[in-house]
Structure 1
């Protein structure tokens, strides 16, 4: 193998640049040429591909987002689009590909591998929803962004003696909500993986109010429903002054934490190692602080699960 490619796809996440840097420098260390594919699978189809040198990835390890940019691509979901992409890879002499992204990105890597083109996936998504790894690149940074926001919200909630509903990202996975809620002592945490009872939420709020509690924080993952609507229901049912904050895309940006920079560096380099060993159709991950790899198809067939013990602990500590 003499030449590999790297792309980022789907939603951006802090640490993607660190992963790109690791792929490029690890490959060059082993005398491989590296080509960056810009704008994800869309750029792959369109041939938006450029050679990357050591200096190409200098001064990016601390930057959020992705220097290769990212885009959604409906055409690549078709076999015709996938074959177009492979033709572009062959045109540039690229023999294997590292794909950095989430579930949808891995689906694309799986398809390329099925067509005979070797791919390795690096899990990059703030949702932490990829089975086969304890953590995904970007989760820790997004989590700390949310915690910082909730800390500030709690200050004003205390000053005005209000209940605050905070909506965080997590369409299908509640990790951001659960971890931030536990870290910030939220009274209730609403996640897609667990049913919730408005009666139970209201009862908790009233119980706290009766013992002299002046403010409360409710964390809602976006996959559960609108934080605004849930806030209205709480105010009407509990008769407590309630405000809602939707954090939105602020959770995706920012300089990656040390944890994300190190994780991205380790996973990016490991992806190159697997390609050098002749592996394909796999994703890299970390389990119990050890680097691991799993078949992409196997990982995609498994369902992301929340840590039930953490969820129960959050309830026990918020009495």
Structure 2
């Protein structure tokens, strides 16, 4: 009898907890058809086919929360990427696997997750921040916007349009003679009316080789008839090389369900003495047509060309794409 009463009490408690909890299945399915041409001269190679992720990489995930009372919530996210063109999924929850607490103080998350630098990295990117975006083939600071294992991240509430985040990723690779290679990043954002801006800073520990550091500053302004966008990046490498980079562009809404976007990006790498090592120029143009609130058709092109210190082209990438993205 006592066991039955205990079982009923446990079931009742579970029911009460369930009533205060929520779990959401979500995802993105995005694939494009087109051509990709890489290389210069005799090394040029052209491939025609389907590729995943023209605007966003395909993924599915579970997101949940439980009301703990007093404005406090327990939260979790489990997210896995996959390639829609092949159906092959990545190993485990490669995009995010985190748990945390959220309240009036902000949000604290623990686990594998995107760092704070990623919060601002593509905030003002042109051409829908996807495969056709010029900066993706030009900027070197994009390599610092990563989803890292063993990460602690704090996200602040918004105060009069200002918000911020900070993350620290533990290397957990320490040995008896070598320290762990930890990394960290900081980000701040401001949004008020038509204006938005973001600033990010990231440090990657390379161990005995030193540290690579990246800074990203971006902004956008909605004029009503169009939205102007600009991004600037600076990468200081441990070997004293430095890369300066920028992207400018515009989003132009032709109609309520049709947007054109164009952008130009440039980067220049120099050594510690200020001598040019390489330059990369890139541009992109695309159109997005909203078939519904969740489904978008898009088409566009992008090209990036890299030259060495002597001004000779050493790399080129050209992409033409037509695709569809569905969010669920």
Q: More strand by proportion, 1 or 2?
A: 2
TM tier relative to shorter chain: under 0.3
Task: Report which of the two structures shows the higher radius of gyration computed on alpha carbons.
Answer: 2
How high is the TM-score relative to the length of structure 1? 0.21
Bigger helix share: 1
